[in-house]
Amino acid sequence: MTTTSRAPATGRQKPPGADRVVLGTAASLALLVLAVAASLFVGARSVDPGVVLSVLGGLPSALTSGDLAAALAPGSGAGMDEVVVTARVPRTITAVLVGAALAVAGAGLQGATRNPLGDPGLLGLTAGAALGVVLGLALAPSAGPSAVAGFAVVGSLAAGLVVVGAGRLGADSGTGLILAGAAVTAGCTAVTSSLVVALPGVLDRFRFWGLGSVARSGAAEIGAALPFLLIGLALVLAGAATLDALALGDDLARGLGVGPVAGRAVVLGGVIILSGVATALAGPIAFLGLLVPHLLRRLVGAGNRVVLGLSVIVGPAVLLLADTVGRVIAPPGEIAVGVMTVAMGVPFLIVLLRSGRGMGET
């Protein structure tokens, strides 16, 4: 009889799929760098690359002074190229923040509800933010951009609280929360449409915000939104292990020491904050929170920790590329990024459905 000796394993073996995660992370970071560069260099007007590097080089020293507005404003006597670049910097920062918020919110919502169609708009958060903006403008027609952002956040939070109160956070939360979100979306949309038709002054301002754009937020809006964004990201990312346990079912999650109701509440709280902040900064942007998590699950697997972590990188990259394409596709005008994400998202979902997989995964 011939015996075959097997060499003992040495060192710690890598978990399955580790190579895919490493490659996916590297590719995601490279994509984000390219997307940021495209956002700064590419547009209806071409600019001198030296001017771009000069403006970026001066940002760290300006930011250390604590004056974000000064850091994002052109200096005195600036040439046209510098004016263009400094206008693109807050636009790029806004796209990074909004992209990260929506992608993480979508991934967190899909995990918490165990529904592959989870999207920040699914819980009525976007419709609630729109209603908050319309009500705020109706009561305070001269409200500034920061106040409008506040109206959106309050509306999103109110809608989220109504949905969570009407739905359930138990084992059937995927169905209960979705039905409650659909009801809240329908109600908020009906009230918003009625107010916009009845108040022409509100319509004049709301129609620009309602398309979805990263071009209208400045230093004040970015500075006000940043703390809320960090809180929302911390809540959802901290719940990644909880979402992995909930994917096994509520009973098994309890056996692992995870409280399903409390775990979902924390994640959904972060989702509500992220959705409100994103809508406040850029208006309603559809499909990004649905598209990015599905794309990542196909590339690196279905683990919530990996998907949530990479969503922070891939979400901004996708939104930046969509915004850049919208700026150059129909010069001298541009197509709002909210329209571009829909144009990208619809074909992706059709391919996903025709492939026979993906929509049934969580």
Choice between 220 and 324, residue whose per-residue pLDDT is larger: 324
Least confident of 118-122, 149-153, 170-174, 259-263: 170-174
Q: Residues 14-28: what's their mean pLDDT?
A: 79
Asked if pLDDT for residue 279 goes beyond 90, the answer is: no
Q: Residues 158-180: what's their mean pLDDT?
A: 72
Domain-embedded: residue 71 = no
Counted domains in the chain: 1
Rg of the chain on CA atoms, in Å: 22
Asked if pLDDT for residue 210 goes beyond 70, the answer is: yes
Domain-embedded: residue 22 = no
b vs e for 262-276, b when ≥16 Cβ sit within 10 Å of the residue's Cβ? Answer: ebbbbbbbbbbbbbb
Tell me the residue range of the domain where 310 lies: 82-351
- Distance from C-alpha of 100 to C-alpha of 292, rounded to nearest angstrom: 10
Which residue carries 């933010």 as its tokens? 129
Domain-embedded: residue 145 = yes
Give the pLDDT band of residue 82 (cuts 50, 70, 90).
low
Q: Residues 334-348: what's their mean pLDDT?
A: 85
Domain-embedded: residue 317 = yes
- Distance from C-alpha of 349 to C-alpha of 40, rounded to nearest angstrom: 29
Contacts of 294 (CB under 8 A, 6+ apart): 116, 348, 352, 358, 361
Asked if pLDDT for residue 56 goes beyond 50, the answer is: yes
Domain-embedded: residue 196 = yes
Q: Residues 257-264: what's their mean pLDDT?
A: 75
- The rounded percent of the chain whose pLDDT value lies above 90 is 18
Q: Can you give the pLDDT at residue 6? A: 52
Q: Can you give the pLDDT at residue 362? A: 46
Domain-embedded: residue 34 = no
Measuring CA to CA, which residue among 258, 253, 232, 236 is closest to residue 308?
236
Give the pLDDT band of residue 358 (cuts 50, 70, 90).
very low
Residues 110-132: tens digit of each pLDDT: 888 877 777 887 778 888 988 98
Q: The CATH number of the domain where 307 resides is what?
A: 1.10.3470.10
Domain-embedded: residue 103 = yes
Domain-embedded: residue 16 = no
Contacts of 237 (CB under 8 A, 6+ apart): 104, 270, 308, 309, 312
